[in-house]
Amino acid sequence: MSEVLIVGSVAYDGLKTPYGSTPRTLGGAATYSSLASSLYAKTHIVGVVGEDFHKKDLALLKAKKIGLDGLARAKGKTFFWKGFYKKEDMNIAYTLKTDLNVFATFDPKIPEKDRKIPFLFLANIHPALQYRVTQQMKRPKFILLDTMNLWINIARKELLKVMGKVDLMVLNDQEVKLLTGEAHLKQAARAILKMGPKRVIVKKGEHGAMLIGPEGTFLAPAMPLDRVVDPTGAGDTFAGGFIGYLARQGKVTLDSLKRSIVVGSLTASFTVQELGVKGVAGLSLAKVRARAKEFYRFASLPPVKL
């Protein structure tokens, strides 16, 4: 089994959804994705927290056997985000407050022993920092890249530079259109491939995900759920589950990528059913296997005669 390195934010979130709220709970892209990845592969994170980072949250990461040599503690407070969701459209997060705190001066330093880890996930941080991470690594087998609208708008040059270093980029449908200026998803995804990544995954929320690469297009439906409690971290959980399971397989092929997309989607389906990281933190392989059986019953198609 190969190992995974994740570089990104460890944070606290203040959340309010139609189904619950909390003034302060563990969050951050590296947190969600590492909890997901650790289900399938040995996972290490590089990030920064403040003096206020709670012992119980550190204990949770340690309990999942997540490597924390790259998690720095700096003077000041941990990155904090506060937001809410409306019942009529749970896909939109409304931001009330963002305090970067110690994350404002985050400069990822990869521990020497982690630089040979073969599977790397560059979670959502400034693309200039993501690029600096790639320069510290020693020939990783696979690099997964995430980004967001903010970086597309204000750091496009730096984003394009790091895109040239990665194997796969993951974006949601709005981001892929914004980055390329294309109105149609498939055309936009093909335009992404011309910018550097060998393949791209377009996340479509409750409608699943689409993989586009030199072999063609693969569509994976999402697991139908009765209720979504909190969408926060769903995309990060998807990416963590994806790269963790890809590392578990130990090879990068079209089939292994397809399977990893399904596993990423299944893992994320647990995250959205609880507030904060509770859903993914309480997850086990047995629960994922049980849901996978449900998923394949739902996704299977009878033969069609024409």
Q: 20 pLDDT exceeds 80?
A: yes
Tell me the pLDDT tens digit for each residue of 193-222: 999 999 999 998 888 999 999 999 999 999
The confidence score (pLDDT) of residue 71 equals: 98
pTM across the whole model: 0.96
pLDDT average, residue stretch 97-103: 96
Q: 1 pLDDT exceeds 90?
A: no
The confidence score (pLDDT) of residue 248 equals: 97
pLDDT average, residue stretch 4-17: 98
Indicate the average pLDDT of the chain: 95
Tell me the pLDDT tens digit for each residue of 23-78: 999 999 999 999 999 999 999 999 999 999 999 999 999 999 999 999 999 999 99
- pLDDT bracket for residue 177 (50, 70, 90): very high
* Strand pairing category for 11-17 and 4-7: unpaired
